[in-house]
Amino acid sequence: MKTVLVILGFICVLGLVISLSQGKEDDPLKNHKFTVVKTEAEWRKILTPEQYKVTRQRSTELACSGAYWKNHEKGIYKCVCCKLPLFDSKTKFESGTGWPSFYKAIHKDAILEIPDDSFGMSRTEILCSRCGAHLGHVFDDGPRPTGLRYCLNSVALDFEKDAK
């Protein structure tokens, strides 16, 4: 019986080691180089406490509390940390979630998607590809043409209204 338990324990440990090593190989941040890099002190100087908490510590603002969840003006949504254009208002839609939602990023390289298994959920986190700011999450329950819902934190964004 001891031999069987030892073998089962070995198989479990081996499976865990293989799983962890595969996760590192598939890490989307492994080969990504952020072009805007600052110390935590530098981020704290340029961001409000709430912006810092959301973008640098991966928090989430309360639903229906952000400045942009009901914004219907035309313009571009940019990263609050580095000003990279992320989403166009043309792709914004009412998701009923209380957060600004978009079905498409301005450019596929503007954001990074990484697995997020926090809080017992399996989700996909989205980050600014230039500075690594946490923006929110993407889900597959959005409208056509993409079927995606990029659910963002307003405090992670700056809005630049169209000049027209």
Query: Is 151 designated active site?
Result: yes
DSSP state of 61: P
Contacts of 142 by beta carbon, 8 Å cutoff, 6+ apart: 93, 95, 101, 103, 148, 149, 150
b/e sequence 89-98, b meaning 16+ C-beta within 10 Å: bebbeebeee
Q: Which of 81, 82, 131, 151 is catalytic?
A: 151
Number of H helices, E strands in the chain: 3, 9
8 Å CB contact between 155 and 48: yes
Active-site residue numbers? 151
